[in-house]
Structure 1
Amino acid sequence: MSPSALPLFRFGIIADPQYAAIPPHAAMDRYYAKSLAKLAEAIAVFNGWELSFVMTLGDVIDRSFASFDDILPVYEKLRHEALFLLGNHDFSVSSGHLSEVAARLGMPSPYYSFSRHGWRFIVLDGNEVSTFAPPEGHPHRDLAAEMLAALQAKGAANAHRWNAALSDAQFAWLGDEIANAAAAGEKVIVMNHYPVHPPGQHGMWDSERIVALLAEQPNVVAYLNGHDHVGNYGRAGTCHFVNFKGVVDTEKENAFAIVEVYTDRLEIRGFGREESRTLGF
């Protein structure tokens, strides 16, 4: 059997459970309370595989800090490491809880990186400069208002309050992490809640600089995200951009994936509504 016939390792992906104990929003095809059962179903599948970890790409809840108390115990059934990143709806909590969200999800910090099997995973906090995540009075809220107003004045498709941007400090950190990974001989997968490519109404406000950075780095293989529940795919330079579909959408169908990492490609095995893809590099 050739070396590329077996994956180096695998990991699981879940996007946008948006759980809340509230009635469905039928017009938007969102069934918030059903995400508990869908998550349990996904975990049952994940537990049948050997996985390095399972990443949830943000929006664990739809609203209310108390919603974490219902959905996080479901993750305890997972026999693999459960990792998280922050989505916009995770901050749909009272102002007193804004600073507690990352800790409630067991995250080491709002953005972080980790290595597995010679690969580096860079986990972004796409909400850092936003009108909802920073505490009241924080300079990032003022900067977000300025960025949003400028985009609205231009008629930009992504000029929405439910999008956001990286701080300059986090953007510089991203560049440093990619450079450090290259020096260590590591390939890179970047994960974030928000899409950056192809351009669209759900994209980060600073998508252009992020795409420009990732597209010119030969060791950056893929950027994985949620937020736009219908899913999407694009490519810029040698980097694949995959937007996973949202769990919360549809009454009965699930959406999750297992990513198999090979020496020359990523194989995405889609379950439910999620598409399967082969991403060569």
Structure 2
Amino acid sequence: MQKYTVLLLINFFLLLANYSSAAANDSFTLGVIADCQYAEQANKGTRYYTSCPDKLSTAVEQFNTLPLSGVLHLGDFIDRDFQNFTVLNTISSVLNTPLYHVLGNHEFSIDDSLKMRVPETLHMPARYYSFEINNWLFIALDGNDVSTYGWPKTSKRHKRNIALFNTKYKGHEDWNGAIGAKQLKWLERKLNTAQTQKQPVVLLSHFPIYPENNHNLWNAQEVLTLISQYSTVKAWFNGHNHVGNYAQKDGVHFVTFHAMLDTDSTAFSTIEFSPNQLVINGQGRQPSMVLPIN
């Protein structure tokens, strides 16, 4: 009897150890920056343009001391001028983990002839794309897909977008944009697959879609209606609204990260992912948060 009890205890502790190991393997951490938005121009109010390279360097140095699985930049790496990408790419090139970009509106505040080179310059596989980390699916969206600025003015895409802006999206802010029909179909296919495989999803965008705000995508309600059909979607991360924001709807956490630009200190964070929660550890202006996962 005693021998049997001992065996049961041994098996129990082995199971506990295996469970703890599995839980640890399911966890990972990412770095997050929004709106570094560097430009060689005079500061404007709280927009400290020329301090951005130093703030980015400090964040990269700190990220490199941590066991990160990647770093996200949520759009507006630069404020204007194509050559400014080189300054920031040089700084971020020393990261010892992958850097994943999404496209912001200021990425296209450059000469028209250079707009098609932006994704390649940021080492992006495409304007919108997905990647996986520890069975989590991250979907990087292009909210400049339909916009007044995101494509060369001589392109057919620009002419179609202007027609949409003047009809379907008339009255919206021209510094926002929308996700086009083709990209929405792609997103729907990605979400269907993730739902079938019970794979948790985080959507990445420069632009918010919730709560209501003048920084939101032009077709925010259409996108919100689509993603609300999928219980596998756990979070939407974005920048663009420099003062930050947060809301929860239908089990999805909508987090607007504070801009690195708009502070004389800094704003960035790490996010610890686990099966039960997301823990945002903020630095500087970025607040910390604990977000339960259902």
Coarse TM-score class (shorter-chain normalised): over 0.9
Identity over the aligned pairs, expressed in percent? 35
Name the aligned partner's letter for residue 258 of structure 1. T
Q: Identify the match of residue 94 of structure 2 among 73, 77, 98.
A: 77
Q: How many residues align?
A: 274
Q: Please state if 1:202 is matched with 2:219.
A: no
Question: How far apart in 2 are the matches of 1:58 and 1:152?
Answer: 22
2:36 maps to what in 1? Answer: 17
CA contact (8 A) 1:12 1:46 kept: yes
Q: Identify the match of residue 191 of structure 1 among 198, 204, 216.
A: 204
* CA deviation after TM superposition for structure 1 residue 215, in Å: 2.1
Question: How far apart in 1 are the matches of 2:250 and 2:185?
Answer: 20
1:15-35 deviations in Å (ceiling 9; x for gaps): 001111111112xx1011100
Q: Identify the match of residue 253 of structure 1 among 256, 265, 288.
A: 265
Q: Identify the match of residue 228 of structure 1 among 236, 241, 246.
A: 241
Displaced runs of 4 or more, over 4 A: 1-7, 150-153
Question: How far apart in 2 are the matches of 1:49 and 1:147?
Answer: 45
Name the aligned partner's letter for residue 37 of structure 2. Q
**Shift in CA distance, 67/270, structure 1 to aligned 2, threshold 3 Å:** same
2:144 maps to what in 1? Answer: 127
1:70-94 deviations in Å (ceiling 9; x for gaps): 1110002211111111100010110
Q: How does 1:1-281 map to 2 (within 5 A)?
A: 3=20, 6=24, 8-26=27-45, 29-150=46-167, 159-250=172-263, 252-281=264-293
Name the aligned partner's letter for residue 292 of structure 2. G
Name the aligned partner's letter for residue 14 of structure 1. I
2:4 maps to what in 1? Answer: none
Question: How far apart in 1 are the matches of 2:163 and 2:240?
Answer: 22
* CA deviation after TM superposition for structure 1 residue 151, in Å: 6.9
Name the aligned partner's letter for residue 18 of structure 1. Q
Question: How far apart in 2 are the matches of 1:239 and 1:278?
Answer: 13
Question: How far apart in 1 are the matches of 2:231 and 2:258?
Answer: 27
Mean alpha-carbon deviation: is it higher for 99-108 or for 175-184? 175-184
CA RMSD between the two structures: 1.8
CA contact (8 A) 1:214 1:239 kept: no
Name the aligned partner's letter for residue 219 of structure 2. D
* CA deviation after TM superposition for structure 1 residue 147, in Å: 4.1
Give the 3-state SS of the residue equivalent to 1:39 in structure 2. helix
* CA deviation after TM superposition for structure 1 residue 152, in Å: 7.1
* CA deviation after TM superposition for structure 1 residue 138, in Å: 3.2
CA contact (8 A) 1:59 1:89 kept: yes
Question: How far apart in 2 are the matches of 1:71 and 1:174?
Answer: 30
Q: Which runs of 5+ in 2 are unaligned?
A: 1-15
CA contact (8 A) 2:169 2:218 kept: no
CA contact (8 A) 1:211 1:236 kept: no
TM score, norm. by length of structure 2: 0.88
Give the 3-state SS of the residue equivalent to 1:72 in structure 2. helix
CA contact (8 A) 2:79 2:107 kept: yes
Question: How far apart in 1 are the matches of 2:227 and 2:53?
Answer: 35
Name the aligned partner's letter for residue 13 of structure 1. V
Question: How far apart in 2 are the matches of 1:240 and 1:146?
Answer: 33
